[in-house]
Structures are given as structure tokens and as C-alpha cells.
């Protein structure tokens, strides 16, 4: 309790801690602080911005980081949003997260192929992929594509290095001994 009492600096936080002065119940004070700050105006505005980011983020051809980083970042954004929610009703469900994630990679045909393949499987009477299954496949496919891109870059770089080495004739060494 003393650690909370000394370290909490906001007026609202100090008030909440002060309400637990007589009981010195740090756990209860911390839980109340947690509930208060999750429901604060700042938390609500932050959650709305985060949800807007989740809904509008798209993988574009200009994205320069590894594709697996994009997938992990999108999943993390949705988890962070859900962690900020005080009410279970306002958390994103698996179907919503699946939809946001599928939409975010629509611009990459190789990654979007996972969603298309899922539709074909459902057409054959198989159950649709769960959010967890989709995430697993998406990350695996992204990592595979990342390694393919890295290998291609290495190959291109090796060729470009070879192409820039001057030949003996270009360097004036023809016939010189």
C-alpha cells in the first residue's frame, strides 16, 4: 500500500488510494485504480483511436518491413484494444478480429489466398478456420514469404555486386604483364 501511496501522482489516483488508507488494502486499491483508468475519458478516446487504426490499417506494396511483422503487429493491436476494454461486451470477438485481419492483408494476394482457400473449404462442407487457426496460417505464410523475399534479395545483391566488378579490359589490364 505504501508503494502506491508514494507513487500515484494524479489527483484521482491519490483520491482512490486515500479511500483505502484505513484498510491499507493495496490489492483492492490497485483494482479500483485499474477500473477507474480503463473507464477514463483518456482511455475511451485512446480505445476509439486504436479501433479506428485496426479498422483502416492495410498492407500495401509500400510496406517495407517483413510481412510477418505486419501480421504480428495487427494481432497485437487487436489484443491491446481488448485489454483496454473494461466491459466484455466492447471487446472484439474472434469473428471481428478475423474479419479485420483478413481485410488488412487483402492487398497482398499471397496472404489473402488463405481467406480464399477457407471459402473453398467451406464450399466443400468443411468448417471455416477459427481465428487462432487463421492467425497461425497467416503468420506461417508471412514467414515463408519473408524468407523467400530475403533469399531473392540476397541473390539479386550477389548478381549486382558481380556486375559492378570491372573486367580486366575495363581496368586497362588487357595484355599488360
Give whole-number Cα distances, 33 to 36, 85, 174, in Å. Answer: 5, 14, 81
Check residue 145 and give its pLDDT: 95
* Span 143-159, pLDDT tens digits: 999 998 777 665 544 44
**Contacts with 61 (C-beta within 8 Å, 6 or more apart), sequence order:** 107
What's the alpha-carbon Rg for the chain, to the nearest Å? Answer: 27
Check residue 8 and give its pLDDT: 63
Worst-scoring range by mean pLDDT, 41-55, 81-95, 150-164?
150-164
Under the banding of pLDDT at 50, 70 and 90, the label for residue 24 is confident
Amino acid at each position: 500500500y505504501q508503494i502506491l501511496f508514494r507513487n500515484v501522482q494524479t489527483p484521482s489516483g491519490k483520491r482512490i488510494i486515500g479511500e483505502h488508507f484505513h484498510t491499507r488494502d493495496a490489492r483492492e486499491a490497485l483494482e479500483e485504480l485499474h477500473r477507474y483508468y480503463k473507464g477514463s475519458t483518456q482511455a475511451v478516446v485512446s480505445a476509439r483511436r486504436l479501433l479506428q487504426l485496426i479498422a483502416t490499417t492495410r498492407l500495401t506494396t509500400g510496406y517495407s518491413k517483413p510481412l510477418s511483422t505486419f501480421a504480428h503487429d495487427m494481432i497485437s493491436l487487436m489484443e491491446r484494444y481488448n485489454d483496454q476494454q473494461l466491459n466484455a461486451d466492447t471487446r472484439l470477438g474472434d469473428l471481428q478480429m478475423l474479419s479485420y485481419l483478413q481485410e488488412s492483408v487483402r492487398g497482398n494476394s499471397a496472404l489473402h489466398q488463405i481467406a480464399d482457400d477457407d471459402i473453398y473449404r467451406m464450399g466443400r462442407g468443411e468448417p471455416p478456420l477459427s481465428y487462432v487457426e487463421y492467425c497461425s496460417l497467416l503468420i506461417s505464410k508471412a514467414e515463408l514469404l519473408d524468407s523467400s523475399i530475403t533469399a531473392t534479395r540476397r541473390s539479386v545483391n550477389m548478381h549486382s555486386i558481380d556486375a559492378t566488378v570491372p573486367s580486366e579490359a575495363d581496368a586497362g589490364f588487357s595484355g599488360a604483364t
